[in-house]
Amino acid sequence: MSRLLQRIDSVFLVVKEFEKAITWYSETLGLEIRFRNNAIAAFNVGSSDNTALTLVNADVLAEGEVHPQFNFFTEDIEAAHAYFTERKVDVGPIRDYGDMRTFDFKDLDGHTLNVVTF
């Protein structure tokens, strides 16, 4: 399985005041924005090859929606999804966002985790 998951890609923080949080992380911590849209802002922490810190806009989450705290990167999302499905892991469908594909799954304690490819 370790070959299916290459790295932890991003750590997520859900924030209530999205614009203020972006400013704080940019100006106070000096982090550079890697990617941004109305739902997320991903920051480089050191090198752009490192795990990103990604702010999630709480306003875009459905009521009661649980956002993963981090995600794993894979080069083969279909194989990773099949691997979890075969092992009877509680896994959601693969979602296609054009330049990114992803799926959620739950661990033994019910934590929502995520796998992504782009």
Q: pLDDT per residue over 21-39, tens digit each?
A: 999 999 999 999 999 999 9
26: in domain: yes
Under the banding of pLDDT at 50, 70 and 90, the label for residue 1 is low
Number of domains in the chain: 1
For residue 91, what pLDDT is reported? 98
Range of the domain at 95: 7-117
> Which ranges of 12-66 would DSSP assign to H, the alpha helix?
18-23
The two tokens of residue 2 are 């370790």
CATH classification at residue 22? 3.10.180.10
Q: pLDDT per residue over 65-78, tens digit each?
A: 999 999 999 999 99
Closest CA to 58 of 20, 102, 26, 28: 20
- pTM score, whole prediction: 0.88
89: in domain: yes
67: in domain: yes
Q: What mean pLDDT is reported for the chain?
A: 96
pLDDT above 90: percentage of residues in the chain: 95
For residue 48, what pLDDT is reported? 87
Sequence-distant (6+) residues with CB within 8 A of 62 are none
Q: What is the C-alpha to C-alpha distance for residues 116 and 29, in angstroms, rounded to an integer? A: 26
2: in domain: no
Whether residue 3 has pLDDT greater than 90: no
